Amino acid sequence: MRRLQGTFDLLPQDSARWVWLESRIRAVMARYSFGEIRVPIMEPTELFQKGTGETTDIVQKEMYTLTDRGNRSLTLRPEGTPSVVRAYLEENLGAQRPLWKLFYIGPMFRAERPQKGRYRQFHQYGAEMIGAASPSADVEIITLCRDILLDLGIDDARLILNSIGSAEARAAYNANLRQFLIRPEIASGLCEDCRRRTQTNPLRVFDCKKEGCGRLLRDAPTIDAHLTGEDRQHFEFVTQSLAGLGIACEIDLRMVRGLDYYTRTTFEFKTTRLGAQDALCGGGRYDGLVEVLGGPPTPAVGFAAGMERILATLENCGRSGPAPDRLDVFVCAIGDRARSVLGATLGALRGLGLSADTDFQGRGLKAQMKEAGRAGARVALIFGDDELARGQMSLRHMDEARQVEISADTSTWNRGLFERTA
């Protein structure tokens, strides 16, 4: 039996990094006053068909979809935003407050071919502001996204920014771009994928990395010609605010995102420290999504970040994450009499709130001490017949290799006895 392709096991030495990462994320989210939402990792398939969008690669070929016993179609979530919006509507959050700031952390599933920075079960954190029309919300999301990266120690990610306009502008631009792409002199030179995209989602031709396509697209219309005055104002506010905050960004009019629901502001943070999968986080505004999922027109903006990519980036920066947890006390008992009080000894230590462990294999003292060293124990509590006969135990401070005797009467113990080096 082997684990599924594109999945991985996290062993204790690695899970500590994840716990650390999650706690840093939660701390910054709290500073920004975002509340954590936990939603199912399984949803009706329809949620993603409608929300993420039928034309996206995610829905067309990357979803883990299954049929349950009631003949319902379920899907393992490929992203978090549709679920959050679904919960927002289902719990009628809009009626309680006009604006919600929510974040999530958890696994996502996409049936892609694994490679560096890409897995079939991967983990994202993300934040959504639902009910926020103001461009200051876009800035809040971008700043949040950036502050988490900075807090973690990633200070060289580039911010790429674009506005793809309102839904109407996008529709007009889509039509215009399609006109351009079907011109015979253009279409004949495009690759097969781009000809398909011309029909399905013309914006995505800009994603094509083929040289031939790139050359033909040089004269293609760009989105900014289709932005309305309001779109421009909105985008201008965002770029000027960022400039005012001293946040550098590059505007890329051809950056498109793979999800159907984006409107106006879209952005990505990219790193040079990974391979081809260089997007650490991405997001933008999605003013139409709530309505698409059956709610009232509700503006919203958010982002999602890939946690495996962030950890990989940190490793490439030489940032090792948190220091490993140390054990407070390792208990070494010598002989049967001593072993008979092991349980009570461990219980007393743990009762004081200390972490305590011992040897469960009946090994010699040398092996027990080795185990204590391996566990990073601060002190070893050693006793055999000698000590117990005198009502004493030996307390060895591992780092200083210094040893004292303490009373074997657990009722006299306190934490300080095992923490101080006196």
Partner RNA sequence: GUGGGUGUAGCUCAGCUGGUUAGAGCACCAGGUUGUGGCCCUGGUGGCCGAGGGUUCGAAUCCCUUCACCCACCCCA
Smallest separation, CB 252 to RNA (Å): 13
Query: What are residue 305's DSSP bridge partners?
Result: 125, 281
Q: Is 267 in the site for RNA (CB under 7 A)?
A: no
92-100, 172-180, 219-227, 251-259 -> range binding RNA (CB under 7 A): 251-259
User: Which residues 357-376 are close enough to bind RNA by CB under 7 A?
Assistant: 363-367, 369-374
Report the C-alpha gap between 119 and 59 in whole angstroms. Answer: 17
Q: How many helical (H) and strand (E) elements, i.e. helices and strands, does the chain have?
A: 17, 16
52-60, 87-95, 241-249, 347-355 -> range binding RNA (CB under 7 A): 52-60
* Alpha-carbon distance values, 206 to 164, 217, 255 (Å): 13, 8, 7
Residues in the chain: 422
92-100, 153-161, 256-264, 350-358 -> range binding RNA (CB under 7 A): 256-264
Q: Where are the beta strands (DSSP E) in 286-416?
A: 300-306, 329-333, 356-358, 379-383, 392-397, 402-407
Residue among 98 and 324 whose Cβ is closer to RNA: 324
22-30, 36-44, 50-58, 131-139 -> range binding RNA (CB under 7 A): 50-58
What's the per-residue H, E or C state across 280-319?
Answer: EEEEEECCCHHHHCCCCCCCEEEEEEEHHHHHHHHHHCCC
Residue among 174 and 394 whose Cβ is closer to RNA: 394
Which of 22, 36, 147, 193 forms a contact with RNA (CB under 7 A)?
A: 193
Torsion region of 65: left, alpha or beta (phi above 0 gives left; psi -120 to 50 gives alpha): beta
User: Which residues 123-162 are close enough to bind RNA by CB under 7 A?
Assistant: 124
Letters for 377-416 (x = contact with RNA by CB under 7 A, - = none) are ---x-xxxxxx------x-x-xxxx-x-------------
Residue among 72 and 210 whose Cβ is closer to RNA: 210
Residue 323's Cβ-side half-sphere holds a number of Cα atoms within 13 Å equal to 3
Binding residues (CB under 7 A) for RNA: these are 2, 5-6, 56-58, 62, 79, 110, 112-119, 122, 124, 193, 197, 204, 207-210, 256-259, 268, 275-282, 304-306, 308-309, 334, 363-367, 369-374, 380, 382-387, 394, 396, 398-401, 403
